[in-house]
Structure 1
Amino acid sequence: MNTVFVVGSLNIDQTIRVPTFPRAGETIYGSDATFSPGGKGANQAVAVSRAGASVKLVGRIGHDVHGTAILEALAESGVDTSHVKVAQSAATGTAVIAVDDLGENQIILSPGANAALSTSDVDAGLATLGANDVLVLQLEVPRDIVRHAARLGTLRGAFVILNAAPSPPAVDGLFDDIDLLVVNEQEIQDLARLADASGELSDLTEILPPVLGPAVLCTAGAQGAVTFLDGRGVHIPAPEVSVVDTTAAGDTFVGYLAASLAAAENLPAAMAVAGRAAAIAVTRHGAVDSIPWRRELQTAHDPNSSVTPLSHH
């Protein structure tokens, strides 16, 4: 069984529910703040593990109670945290999340210890990364670290996924060693501006790869997920659910997608499973707390679906 390696952020999420998002200069009342483990790296690693795959997480926490709480939550989900290091001079990263009555969110990030992640941390954490393993990256840690990890992944023959979130301000070689870019509706439009392109979501998944390099998969909430594969567009519809909180829905999708690809599933089948998992996540509050276990997905994907080998650049 291939392993999924995740290099990314670990945050403590401070979540406040609000009726609507405040306007500039406005003060509104919200719920009492709750604190829970999060961060795109941690969320995606948990999703990989709960999907049933072996996962190793590379990242940094602070020497504080929040960091300890995150490690405990990761261990409970079966994530290998032997390469999550403690930064003595920085606090654990923090995300302040406002969630409105429609389940949409606004997030403010303080990177904290995530900014201290080093190339030597990555080298040690990816020491056992091999051919056919899957490497998952995001952009809540420094971009030079992401580029370094991606280069290692390519050199080792791994399949490299970048969840380009938050959106990068420039391309500057960021996608050179990426096999698959996973983005949401806002992020694909941001990438389109960087590439001086425009179009509908499905068009952009065809237009952007020749310009940026990697294949592009876009998650579009209730509209499902789209990509362009083997000369044709692929659309996987999303299950209809009542949305409570979209926090970590994208991370759930990415983690389940990576776990399925590590098990040699083809991309459309992996997208379908990931979409079902994300649909469950949005019906729950929180980040790590919302991510479902594989047994909670009502039906497994079709075991008779054809397996398409992953192509590397």
Structure 2
Amino acid sequence: MKKVIVLGSLNMDLSINSDYMPKKGETINGYDFLINPGGKGGNQAVAAAKLGADTRMIANVGNDIFGQEILNKLKEYGVCTDDISISKFDSTGVAVIICCDHDNRIILGNGANHTLTFSMVKERLDAIAEEGDIFLTQLENDFQVVDASIRYAKKKGLYTILNPAPARVLEEDLYNYLDLIVVNQSECQLLTGIYPNDDESCIKGLQAFENRGAKAIITLGAHGSITQMEDTPVFVDSRKVETVDTTGAGDSYIGALCACLAKDMPVKEALEFSTKVAAITVTRRGAQVSIPYTEEVESYFKEEKTHE
């Protein structure tokens, strides 16, 4: 089976619920405070590992309590941490998350995530990557490092996947080094000028990415996800569940997708499975802790089918 190599961020998530978002200068009472390892890279790696993929993580944490706890949890979830650096000079990244009305707002403190260098990434890829492995990354690390790493991974024969979040405009020629880009609706709009909210606009968005050289998957929140295979749209509807916390939902979907691709699962089947993983994730609080294992996915939807 192919390896899933994740270059990305590792944060300690500090989340709290509130009845409404505080106004400027306002202090309000919150509840259900939770400290939980996160970061888009870490979340996606955990999802891939929990779902059976041989998952390696290239990242950087601080030499502090948060960094050690993150490493311990990644190991517990099955992610290989041998390629994670520990900075002597930078603190571990943090994410402050306010959860309100089944949605969230996040403030990032980049810390050691932004002192990971391309030379560090290149060294680890040279040591562990094999042709055909899956290389997954996002945009919570320094952009120049991510950009250079994608190009290098592609040249080494890896299957390159980008989740461009937090969203930003990309260099046009970078698309030539991407096999797949996974975007949500707002990211699609920023990168293509097209907001995908119906069949026609979704197809136009997918085609805009293909015209630049990359296949795309667009996630549509509660409305599912869509891609295109040989000019034919492939749509997978969302699964209806009771939402508790949306933190990590998109990351669980992408990590699950990588685990499926590592097993050479057909695309539509991979999207359907990833949708199930994301659905279970939003029924639980937290990021990595909320992501299900394969057995949980099979059990949850087997029971759902029994009750239909």
Check whether TM > 0.5: yes
Describe the SS at the equivalent of 1:271: helix
Displacement after TM superposition at 1:251 (Å): 0.6
Match of 1:270 in 2: 270
Describe the SS at the equivalent of 1:135: strand
Displacement after TM superposition at 1:199 (Å): 5.3
Describe the SS at the equivalent of 2:20: coil
Q: 1:188 to 1:294 in 2, by over 3 A?
A: same
Match of 1:308 in 2: none
Match of 1:237 in 2: 237
Q: 1:42 to 1:231 in 2, by over 3 A?
A: same
What is the rounded CA distance, in whole Å, between the counterparts of 1:68 and 1:223 in structure 2?
Answer: 38
Letter in 2 for 1:54: D
Deviations 1:228-248 (A, max 9, x none): 221111110111101111100
What is the rounded CA distance, in whole Å, between the counterparts of 2:277 and 2:10 in structure 1?
Answer: 21
Q: Is the 8 A contact 1:245 1:285 kept in 2?
A: yes
Q: 1:19 to 1:216 in 2, by over 3 A?
A: same
Displacement after TM superposition at 1:120 (Å): 1.7
Q: 1:199 to 1:56 in 2, by over 3 A?
A: closer
Match of 1:309 in 2: none
Displacement after TM superposition at 1:81 (Å): 0.5
What is the rounded CA distance, in whole Å, between the counterparts of 2:132 and 2:40 in structure 1?
Answer: 23
Match of 1:99 in 2: 99
- Higher share in helix: 2
Match of 2:306 in 1: none
Match of 1:114 in 2: 113
Matched, 1:287 2:287: yes
Q: Is the 8 A contact 2:151 2:174 kept in 1?
A: no
Describe the SS at the equivalent of 1:75: helix
Match of 1:305 in 2: none
Match of 2:304 in 1: none
Letter in 1 for 2:86: V
Matches within 5 A, 1:1-313: 1-31=1-31, 33-100=33-100, 102-127=101-126, 128-171=128-171, 173-193=173-193, 197=194, 200=197, 201-298=201-298
What is the rounded CA distance, in whole Å, between the counterparts of 1:285 and 1:273 in structure 2?
Answer: 21
Q: 1:270 to 1:145 in 2, by over 3 A?
A: same
Q: Is the 8 A contact 1:6 1:55 kept in 2?
A: yes
Q: Is the 8 A contact 2:196 2:205 kept in 1?
A: no
Number of equivalenced pairs: 297
What is the rounded CA distance, in whole Å, between the counterparts of 1:134 and 1:295 in structure 2?
Answer: 23
What is the rounded CA distance, in whole Å, between the counterparts of 2:220 and 2:3 in structure 1?
Answer: 27
Unaligned 5+ runs, structure 2: 302-308
Q: What is the CA RMSD across the aligned residues, in angstroms?
A: 1.8
Letter in 1 for 2:171: V
What is the rounded CA distance, in whole Å, between the counterparts of 2:232 and 2:32 in structure 1?
Answer: 48
TM-score between the two structures when normalised by the length of structure 2 = 0.91
Displacement after TM superposition at 1:76 (Å): 0.2
Taking only the aligned residue pairs, the percentage that are identical comes to 36
TM-score between the two structures when normalised by the length of structure 1 = 0.90
Q: Is the 8 A contact 2:2 2:262 kept in 1?
A: yes
Q: Is the 8 A contact 2:184 2:220 kept in 1?
A: yes
